[in-house]
Amino acid sequence: MKNYLSLVKFSHTIFAMPFALIGLFWGFHVLNIAGETPDKPLWQTLLLVTLCMITARNAAMGFNRYIDRDIDAKNERTTQREIPAGIISPRNALLFILINVAIFIGATAFINPLCFYLSPVALLVVLGYSLTKRFTALCHLILGLGLSLAPVGAFLAITGHFDWEPIILGIGVLTWVSGFDIIYALQDEHFDKENDLSSIPAWLGKKRALFVSTALHIITAGMIILFGVLIREGWLYWLGASGFISLLIYQHLLVKPHDLSKVNLAFFTTNGIASVFFAGFVIMGLLVG
C-alpha cells in the first residue's frame, strides 16, 4: 500500500481536494438559500465526492507513471520512481489504474445521473493530460483543467445542476495549477529539450516560463476575488483569499531562473498550505454565514 501511495504521490491530493470541498459546501449553501433539500445527506455526498476525488486522481497519476515509465527511466530526477525502479510492475500499475477507474465511475453512479454521465468526460481529461506533453507545450493547462473539475464536480454532486460561481472558481484552479506546474517543470527544461518533450520551460526558457506562470497566477487572483464578489461572502472569505494570494506571491519570490533550489518548497509546501488555508476560511464563512 505504501508503494502505491508513493506511486501516485497521494499527499498531492491536498491541491484539489480543498477546492472540491468549497464547491460542495457552496452548493449546499445555495440549496439552503433556495429552501431546497439535497437528495442525500451532506455527509453521504461528502464521502462520495471524497472517494471520487481520490480514485480519479489515483487513476490519473497512476496512468501518468505508467505511460511515462520509459521517460522516467531516462531522467536522473525520476529514475527512482516505483515503475522504473522495479518496485511496482507495469502490469500491476495498470491493474491499479483500472480498479480506481471502476470505483470512480461506480461512485458517480451513487451521486446522481448527471455526475455518472459526465464521468467519462472527467476521466478523458485527467487521463489524457499524460499524453499531451508529447505534442504541446500547453500540457500544463490540461493538467490545470483536470484539477479545475474539482469544485465544479462537487457542486454538481450536491445540487445536480451547473452554475457560474463554481466555474469561475474552477478557472482560478486551472490557472493556479498550470502556473505552479510550470514552476515545477523548470527542473526538466534541458531533459525535455533533449527528448523532444513539450513544456513551457522547454519552449520559452526559464525566464519567460516564469513570466507565463506569473501571468497565470495574476488571473488566479482575479478569479478568487471575482468568486468572492459573486457569492457575497464576508470577512472570513476575504481573510482566506488574502492568505492564498499572498502565498501565490511568495512562491514567485522563492524561484528564480538561475536558482531552482526552492522549487519543491514553492511547488508542494506553499501551494498545499495555500489551498488548505483558503478552503478552511471559505467553508467556515459558509457554515456560519
Q: What is the pLDDT of residues 145-168, one digit of tens each?
A: 999 999 999 999 999 999 999 999
148 near 171, Cβ under 8 Å?
yes
d(CA 276, CA 244): 9
pTM to 2 decimal places: 0.95
Phi-psi region of 168 (alpha: psi -120 to 50; beta: other; left: phi over 0): alpha
pLDDT at 141 over 90: yes
- pLDDT at position 92, please? 96
pLDDT tens for each residue of 75-91: 999 999 999 999 999 99
Structural domain count of the chain: 1
pLDDT band, residue 214 (cuts 50/70/90): very high
pLDDT tens for each residue of 5-64: 887 777 778 889 999 999 999 999 999 999 999 989 999 999 999 999 999 999 999 999
- pLDDT at position 262, please? 87
The domain that holds 111 is classified in CATH as 1.10.357.140
Q: Determine what percent of the chain is predicted with pLDDT higher than 90.
A: 87
d(CA 198, CA 116): 33
Q: Which grid coordinates are listed for 158?
A: 450536491
Helices (H), the chain: 2-7, 17-34, 42-67, 69-74, 90-111, 113-132, 139-159, 164-185, 189-194, 200-204, 206-231, 235-254, 263-264, 271-288
With a CB cutoff of 8 Å and minimum separation 6, the contacts of 92 are none
- pLDDT at position 233, please? 87
Vertex 270: Cα angle to 267 and 271 (nearest 5): 65
Buried b / exposed e over 154-176, threshold 16 CB at 10 Å, is: bbbbbbbeebebbbbbbbbbbbb
Q: Which grid coordinates are listed for 133?
A: 506533453
- pLDDT at position 5, please? 81
Mean pLDDT, the chain, rounded, equals 94
pLDDT tens for each residue of 245-256: 999 999 999 998
User: What is the extent of the structural domain holding 141?
Assistant: 2-288
